[in-house]
Amino acid sequence: MNEQQIRQALRLYLVMGSPNCGGADPVRVLEAAIAGGITMFQFREKGAGALQGQARLALGARLRRLCAQHGIPFIVDDDERLALELAADGIHIGQEDAPAAAVRERLPQMIVGVSAHDPAEASAAMAAGADYLGVGPQYATRTKLDAREVRGPAMIARMREAGIRLPLVGIGGIDAGNCGAVIRAGADGVAVVSAITEARSPQEAAARLLGACL
Ligand code: 3NM
């Protein structure tokens, strides 16, 4: 995917694993979210009750297939081996994970996304060959217990003012009511977990977000 295609794919990015689905089947949740219009997906099997080993691989394979059927880029959170096993389109790494330059070198064919919290981290990620940045938390979130302090859309604006032009997505506490502010600050899209996975209708929630973020 070229930069413009990545920018477009980031428009509405669902991040999800089974612990986020409140007992619902993650395959059904993803199906509904795709029907509602999500443009990218990240398999993030983390937190209390996360699947391990073979069960994790099996769920990942089902979600991966669904994305392939619908032309949705499939990204794996953090785990290079899992990304390779699932033939993922990309990998997303945090500041605490393996260095971005090393991941970029080991997985030259994949989209590499990097979490960045300030202009310095964003510049470093760009120099390391990141394809896109995730910037969060934009708002308070209950989904990631170790999220950093909320800096809001203003941090995205600061990165853009500092000359960071990479495709960029905001994450953390984003819903249909506040996603417009994230886009206006300079993001190409929004990444969400609970606004879709905890909605009564993930399909309607995705469609509403997409409408609100255009
Ligand atoms: N990363 P929700 S916040 C996975 O700040 C993740 O980097 C974050 O979940 C960061 O949309 C977050 O339910 C969780 O708030 C976002």
Residue 57 Cα to ligand 1 middle (Å): 22
Q: Which of 146, 147, 114 is nearest to 130 (CA)?
A: 114
Chain mean position to CA 108: 19
The CA distances from residue 209 to 3, 95, 102, 111, 189, in Å, are 23, 28, 35, 24, 10
| Ligand 1 lining (C-beta closer than 6 Å) | 15, 115, 134, 136-137, 141, 143-144, 147, 171-174, 192-195
pLDDT in the model for residue 6: 98
Number of domains in the chain: 1
Averaged pLDDT, groups of 10, the chain, 214 residues long = 97 98 96 98 96 98 98 98 98 93 97 98 97 97 94 97 98 98 98 98 98 86
Buried b (16+ CB within 10 A) or exposed e, 115-140: bbbebebbbbbbebebbbbbbbbbbe
How far is Cα 48 from Cα 35, in angstroms, rounded to an integer? 28
160 included as an active-site residue: no
Which residues are registered as beta bridge partners of 74?
Answer: 41
**What is this model's ipTM?**
0.99
How far is Cα 132 from Cα 115, in angstroms, rounded to an integer? 9
How far is Cα 78 from Cα 52, in angstroms, rounded to an integer? 14
Q: Which member of 18, 64, 104, 115 is catalytic?
A: 115
- Which residue, chain included where needed, has tokens 């089947």? 25
For the annotated binding site, the residues are 42-46, 77-78, 97, 115, 141-144, 173, 193-194
Burial class (CB in 10 A: 0-12, 13-18, 19+), 167: buried
CATH number at residue 139: 3.20.20.70
pLDDT in the model for residue 98: 87
The single-letter DSSP state of residue 169 is: E
Full DSSP string of 134-146:
EE--SS--SS-TT
How far is Cα 1 from Cα 49, in angstroms, rounded to an integer? 34
18 included as an active-site residue: no
Burial class (CB in 10 A: 0-12, 13-18, 19+), 153: buried
**Neighbour tally for 107: CB within 10 Å:** 16
| Enclosing domain of residue 164 | 3-213
144 included as an active-site residue: yes
pLDDT in the model for residue 213: 85
Q: Which of 143, 175, 178 to mutate to test the pocket of ligand 1 (most atoms within 8 A of CB)?
A: 143
Residue nearest to atom 7 of ligand 1 (CA): 136
